[in-house]
Structure 1
Amino acid sequence: MSSDLYRFKYDEYGNTKEIIVYASGDSARSCRYINKGTAFSEDERKKLALDATLPPGVRGLFDQIQSSQKKVNGKADDIEKYIFIRALFNRNATLAHALINSDIESYIKLIYTPTIGLAVQQYSSMFRQANGLHFYPGNIDSAEDILRRFSHRDIRVAVVTDNHGILGLGDQGAGGIAVCLGKLMIYTQGAGIAPWHCLPISLDVGTNNEELLADKHYLGWRQHRLKGEQYLSFIGRFVRAFRNVFPNALCQWEDFSPATAFSVHDAFRDEIISFNDDIQGMGAVAAAAIFSAMKVKKEKFTDQYFLIHGSGTGGIGIARTLMSILVDLGMSEKQAAKHIFVVARDGLVSTERECQFYKKPFAKDPKVFPWLKELDPTNIPAIIREAGITVLIGTTGHEFFFNEEAINEIKKNTKRPLILPLFQHVSTSAKLCQNIAKWSDEGILIGTGNPCATMDALERSTGISQCNNAFIFPGIALGVLVSGASEITQDFFIVAAKAVSDMITDEQLQDGRIMPPLDSMRAVAKSVALAVAMCAVEKGLSRPCIYSDFQPNGDETRMAKLIDRMRWKPEYLPLTPM
C-alpha cells in the first residue's frame, strides 16, 4: 500500500512541509508524490538507493518545466497533449502542476474544457493508469473500508460524479471520472489544495448509452443505470461511508443529470459538506458577471429582467442564484420570480405545461403575464419584447437563442445589454463568433463560457470576458476548509460572486471586461476564500479548522493569514528517508 511508502508532515498551518519516505529504489521513484525525476539531489539519490538509476546530471524544476513545455508543444493535437500531461502527473505530480502553473491560460484548456470532453469519450480506449475510485454495485457495500485506504493522504476535497450529465455530452459511463481528475487539478492550481489531498470518485451506477454497452472495450459496469430507490440507496451508502471516513472533507457533486442533481444535492446537504458546481458554481459565475456589468452600466440589479435559455442544472442554478440575490436586495420571492424567465426545450416555462419540481418556482402564470396567452412560447424576440429583458443568458441553444432579431429586441430595453453565452463552445459556429464580435463592437457587454479556439481569438481581440467556474469553486473549497464551515449555503456563492467582481480593475471595466483574466485565478481564489470564510463566521457556521494548529478564531486578519499559508505551491518538498 502507498501508506507504507511515505507519510506527509505538516506545518502549523496545515501545509505540507516535508515527506517522510519509507520506500527506496524503484518504489520511491514510482510514487508520483515522491518522484522528482532528474531533480533528485545527489544526497537524495544516495539515501533513497537511486544512485546509478538516473543520469549523473541534476536538472532543477525550472529546467524540467521548460523541457516539458517543449514536449507538450511537439504533440500533434490537444488530446495527445492531454495524455502527456496526465501521464506526467502519474509519474511526478509536482512537475505536472508546475508545468500547468507556468501558463495556466493555455494548459487549463488541455486539462479541463474543452479537451476533457474528448478524454471522457475516449476513456476506455486510451486507458493507461487508474486514478481515483470507481464504486459500483459490486463494491459499494465496502465503500467505507475502501475510503479508509486513503486516510493517510488527509483527503480534503473529493469530486464525485455519477457520469450522467457530462459537459453537454450526456451519459458517458465510466469516462466521467476524467472530469473529476481535471477539476481537481484546478482545485490545486487555484486554491492550492495539494494533489494528495484530492480524491476523484466515480459512482458507476451503469449507463444507458447503448454504444458503450455494446463496446467490448468499455471498462465501466456493463448494466443499464440504476434508478428510483435502487439509485438513491446506492448514493446514500456512498454518502454514509464518506461521512464516516472524511467528516470534514468537502464533497463536490459533478455532472449529474438534472433529474438527479437537485434531488441528490438537497437530500444529502445536511449529511456531508457538499455542493453541486453545475448548479451553484454556474449560478455564482453568472452572478459575478452581472455584478460587474451593473458597475459598467451604472444600473441596479433589481432593475434587470433576465431570460435564461436552458432549464437543466446550469440554467436553473443561475435562476436560483438570481432569485437569492434579488431577495437579499429586498424583494419577496414572488417579486423576484417576476424578473426571471426560463426557456426550456419546448419554450418558456409556464404553469400551462407540466414541468419538473426544480423548474416550478420560475414557471410563469398567464394570469400574471396575460401576453403569454397569445405568444408562441418559443419566440425568443417576442418574449424579450414583452418581458422587458435586459440580460440574456444561454446555457444551451446557440444560434436559436443568440440571433440578430433577439439582440435587436434587447437593445430596445437597455442602452447596454448584457449577454452571456455560457454553453460549451466546442463547436461554436463561425457565424455566432462573427455576431459576438460585432455586438461587442456595438457596446454590448459579453461574457462567454468555457473556451475554444474561435472564442479565444475573440476574447483576446475584443472586450469579451470568459465566465469560467474556475473563478468560483477553488475559493469556495478553500474558504470552507479554513473556516471549518459545517455546511455550504447559497450565501457563500453570492459573496463569492461579489468577490470575483471586485477583482476587476476600473480600467478593465472601462474596456467592457466583466470578469478577471484567467491567469489571475490563484489571486481570485484567495479573495473568494476570504469572503466565504468570513461569511461562514457571520452566519454562525464556522468551527475550528481541523487541518491547522493555527486557528483564526473568527478574526479576518488571521483568516487571511491561514488562507495564504495553507496553500500548496508546485515546488519540490524536502524528502526525509527513513
Structure 2
Amino acid sequence: MTTGYQPNEFEFGRDDDGEFVRVMARGHQVLSSPGINQGSGFSLEDRTALGLNGLLPSGVTTLSGQLKRVYAQYRAQPDALSKYLYLNSMHDRNEVLFFALLTEHIEEMMPIVYTPTIGQAIEEYSHWYQRPRGAFLSIDSPEKVEEALAAMGHRSEDVDLIVVTDSEGILGIGDQGVGGIAITVGKLAVYTAAAGIHPHRVLPVVLDTGTDNLELLNDDSYLGARHARVRGQRYDDFVDRFVVGAHKLFPKAMIHWEDFGAGNATRILAKYREEYCTFNDDIQGTAAVVAAAVMAAVKASGTPLSEQRIVVHGAGSAGIGIASLLRRVMIQQGVDAEEARSHVWGLGSRGLLREGLRLRDFQQPWARPASELKGWTLDRKGRYELADVVRNVHPTILIGCSAQPGAFSEEIVGEMAGYCDRPIIMPLSNPTRKAEAVPSDLLEWTDGKALIATGSPFEPVRHRGTTYRIAQANNALVFPGIGLGAITSRASRVSEGMIAAAATALARTVNARTPGASLLPDMTALRSISARVALAVVEAAQNQELATVELGTNPVQAIYDAMWQPRYPRVIAA
C-alpha cells in the first residue's frame, strides 16, 4: 500500500524490506522537500541517482550522527521560543530528523513543541511566520473549503487524521485568530512522536472565522481575516461545510477538534460525534487523563470510586467532560446511572449548578435539585460557592478547571483533610499562574496525605522526609493512543466506551500506593503508553462493533506495525 504525498515529487510505500520512497524529484527540489530530504544522510549512491552531487558536503552522516549535531544546536538556543523556532525550522527542512529528535527527547521537548511554549509562539505567529504548513480555511470564502483541502495534494485514502481549530480557546491565552494553526501542527507532531501516526497521513487545519482579539486586529503584521469573530448560523454553516467537505475528500480520517471556545466545543462534538469519527481532546482527552489519575488515586486511597464525593470547580466543557467520564466509569463498575450522577457536584461562574440557575445545555443534567439544598449553611444567603459546597457536601475528590488561582485555599483543603484520610485534589488550570493551588501547599496543609495531580508541570516536593512526585494530567498521555486505536481499527466513531477504555489502560500503568508515587506515568515511556492505550481503544471499538477492520489474532503486533518509526526510508530513484 502506498501513501501518496506530493505525487509529482515522491511517493511512499512499504514492501517486505520495509518502507521505501520512490523519488521523482531531482537536485535542489529533493533538498527543499522536507518529506524526503535526508541532508548529509544521503548515501553516495543516492546522491548520484537523485542529482545531488555537488549540492552537499562529501561526508555521509548516519541518522544517529545527525541527531547528536542537531541536539547540540537545540541545546545552544538561548530560550524556549528560540528552541521552538529551531525545531520548527528543522520540521520544515527534514521531517525524519525532526521526529527522530523529538521522539528521542520527548519529555524534554514536549513543553517546547506543545504547552506552554507553543502558546507564546502562537501569540507571535504573524511575526515569525515563514513557511505555511496546513490548510487555511476562511469563513469569507466558504465555497472554497473543498478546494483548499484538496490543494494539499492528498488522495482520498491518504489522510488518517485531521486536527482542526478555530483558535478561540487556545490553551490559557484565548482567541488567537489564524495563529491557531500552530497548535494543530504541534498536536500532530505529538501524535507522530508519541504514537507513530505517519507524518504524511495527517492534515492540520485552521478555520479562520475572524478574531475578537483587538491587539491582533490592530497589528499590521496579522495574517488572518481582519474582522470580528463570526458567530451564529453563518459560523455553524461554515463548520458544517468543513466537516462534510473533509469527510467527502478523506472518508477514513478522524477529525480532532482542538481549542474551540466553550460556547462551541461541546455542541459541535455533540452534533457530529454520532455520525463521524470525531474527537475533542479538550473535552474527551482531558476527561480521560484526569479519570486515569482519579482511578489511580482511588486505588491508593482504598475507597472505591462509588463511595467518593466529587466536586468539579469550573464545570465548563472540560469540567463537565470529566464529570461525564467519571460517571461512565462508575456505571461500568456496576453503579446505577442516576446514582453515579449524584456523586458529582459542579460549580460554574455563578456557583453550584442548581435548579433555577441559567445554565448551558450541557450543564443542565448536572443541576442539583433545590430540595437537596434546604438546610445548607451558607456564607452568603442565596450564594452557593466553593466553600459552601465543601462545607455541606464533604467532598473526597476536588477537581479544579476554574482558572481561579488560589481557589483551593488552606481553609478549604484543611477542612477536607479533617474528615478525609486521603483527599484527592487536582488543581488542573493552566498555565501555572492560574492553578487553584500548588502541590507544596497542598502537602503542607494535609500533612502529606493529599493525592495530587496538576495541569501544569511541577517539580517533586520534599515533605517530612518523603519525596512526592507530582502527576501532570497532560493530555499527551492519552490522545495519541486514542487516535492510534481509532485509526488502526478504522472506527466509525469514537465512543465514550473507547474513551473510558483509554483512561482505564492509562491508570493501570502506575502503582500509586508507594508513598510519594505519581498518579500518572511520566513522558519518558510515552510511546509504549500510547501503544497500550491504543490496544484498549481497539478492543473497546471491537466490543461495541464500531471497528470496521479486524486486527487478526495478534492485535499487539498490529498496533506495533501501525506505528511509524522515524528512520530514513530506502530511496528508489524513479
| TM-score normalised to structure 1 length | 0.93
Offset from partner CA, 1:88-146 (integer Å, 9 cap, x none): 00100111111112221110010001101101111111111101011012443222233
What is the one-letter code of the residue matched to 1:31? Answer: S
Q: Distance in 2 between matches of 1:431 and 1:476?
A: 30
State the Cα distance separating 1:335 from its structure 2 match: 2.0
Relative to total residues, which structure has the larger helix share, 1 or 2?
Answer: 1
Q: Distance in 1 between matches of 2:519 and 2:446?
A: 12
| Compared CA separation, residues 563 and 462, structure 1 to 2 (3 A) | same
State the Cα distance separating 1:447 from its structure 2 match: 0.9
Q: Which moved more, 1:142-151 or 1:512-521?
A: 142-151
Give the aligned partner of residue 547 of structure 1: none
Give the aligned partner of residue 519 of structure 2: 514
State the Cα distance separating 1:299 from its structure 2 match: 1.4
Give the aligned partner of residue 525 of structure 1: 530
Q: Does residue 571 in structure 1 map to residue 567 in structure 2?
A: yes
Q: Distance in 1 between matches of 2:539 and 2:120?
A: 39
Offset from partner CA, 1:38-73 (integer Å, 9 cap, x none): 111111111111111111111211111111111111
Q: Which moved more, 1:328-337 or 1:180-189?
A: 328-337
What are the within-5 Å matches in structure 2 for residues 17-416 of structure 1? 17-149=19-151, 150-152=153-155, 154-372=158-376, 374=378, 376=380, 377=383, 379-416=385-422
Please give the secondary structure, in 1, of the residue aligned with 2:128.
Answer: coil
Q: Distance in 2 between matches of 1:55 and 1:85?
A: 22
| Compared CA separation, residues 372 and 274, structure 1 to 2 (3 A) | farther
| Compared CA separation, residues 430 and 480, structure 1 to 2 (3 A) | closer
Q: Which moved more, 1:349-358 or 1:533-542?
A: 349-358
Task: Indicate which of 476, 480, 493 corresponds to 2:482.
Answer: 476
Offset from partner CA, 1:245-300 (integer Å, 9 cap, x none): 11111110011111111111111223321011101111111100011112211211
Q: Distance in 1 between matches of 2:225 and 2:18?
A: 37
Q: Distance in 2 between matches of 1:154 and 1:520?
A: 29
What is the one-letter code of the residue matched to 1:254? Answer: E
Q: Which moved more, 1:163-172 or 1:109-118?
A: 163-172
Task: Indicate which of 420, 438, 441 corresponds to 1:432.
Answer: 438
Work out whether residues 180 and 254 of structure 1, in 8 Å CA contact, stay in contact via their aligned partners in 2: yes
Q: Which moved more, 1:138-147 or 1:487-496?
A: 138-147
Q: Distance in 2 between matches of 1:297 and 1:538?
A: 31
Offset from partner CA, 1:174-218 (integer Å, 9 cap, x none): 111111111111100111001111211001111111221111111
What is the one-letter code of the residue matched to 1:570? Answer: P
What is the one-letter code of the residue matched to 1:520? Answer: A
Q: Which moved more, 1:146-155 or 1:300-309?
A: 146-155
Please give the secondary structure, in 2, of the residue aligned with 1:383.
Answer: helix
State the Cα distance separating 1:221 from its structure 2 match: 0.9
Give the aligned partner of residue 534 of structure 1: 539
Equivalent residue pairs, number: 563
What are the within-5 Å matches in structure 2 for residues 427-506 of structure 1? 427=433, 432=438, 434-436=440-442, 438=444, 442-451=448-457, 455-456=458-459, 458=461, 462-505=468-511
Greater relative contact order (CA < 8 Å, ≥ 6 in sequence): 1
Please give the secondary structure, in 1, of the residue aligned with 2:398.
Answer: strand
Offset from partner CA, 1:422-457 (integer Å, 9 cap, x none): 111343689835414535861211111133xxx245
What is the one-letter code of the residue matched to 2:249? Answer: V
State the Cα distance separating 1:374 from its structure 2 match: 4.0
State the Cα distance separating 1:16 from its structure 2 match: 7.2
Give the aligned partner of residue 552 of structure 1: 551
Q: Distance in 2 between matches of 1:51 and 1:427?
A: 54
Q: Distance in 2 between matches of 1:246 and 1:359?
A: 34
State the Cα distance separating 1:510 from its structure 2 match: 4.6
Work out whether residues 79 and 110 of structure 1, in 8 Å CA contact, stay in contact via their aligned partners in 2: yes
What is the one-letter code of the residue matched to 2:551? Answer: P
Offset from partner CA, 1:66-92 (integer Å, 9 cap, x none): 111111111111001000001100100
Q: Which moved more, 1:289-298 or 1:391-400?
A: 391-400
What is the one-letter code of the residue matched to 2:189? Answer: M
Please give the secondary structure, in 2, of the residue aligned with 1:186.
Answer: helix
Q: Distance in 2 between matches of 1:576 and 1:426?
A: 50
Work out whether residues 413 and 446 of structure 2, in 8 Å CA contact, stay in contact via their aligned partners in 1: no
State the Cα distance separating 1:561 from its structure 2 match: 1.2
State the Cα distance separating 1:458 from its structure 2 match: 4.5
Q: Distance in 2 between matches of 1:524 and 1:4?
A: 37
Q: Distance in 1 between matches of 2:26 and 2:409?
A: 62
Structure 1 unaligned blocks of 5 or more: 545-550
Q: Distance in 1 between matches of 2:340 and 2:75?
A: 50
What is the one-letter code of the residue matched to 2:234? Answer: Q
> RMSD between aligned alpha carbons?
2.2
Q: Which moved more, 1:246-255 or 1:220-229?
A: 220-229
Work out whether residues 441 and 462 of structure 1, in 8 Å CA contact, stay in contact via their aligned partners in 2: no
| Compared CA separation, residues 240 and 428, structure 1 to 2 (3 A) | closer
State the Cα distance separating 1:408 from its structure 2 match: 0.7
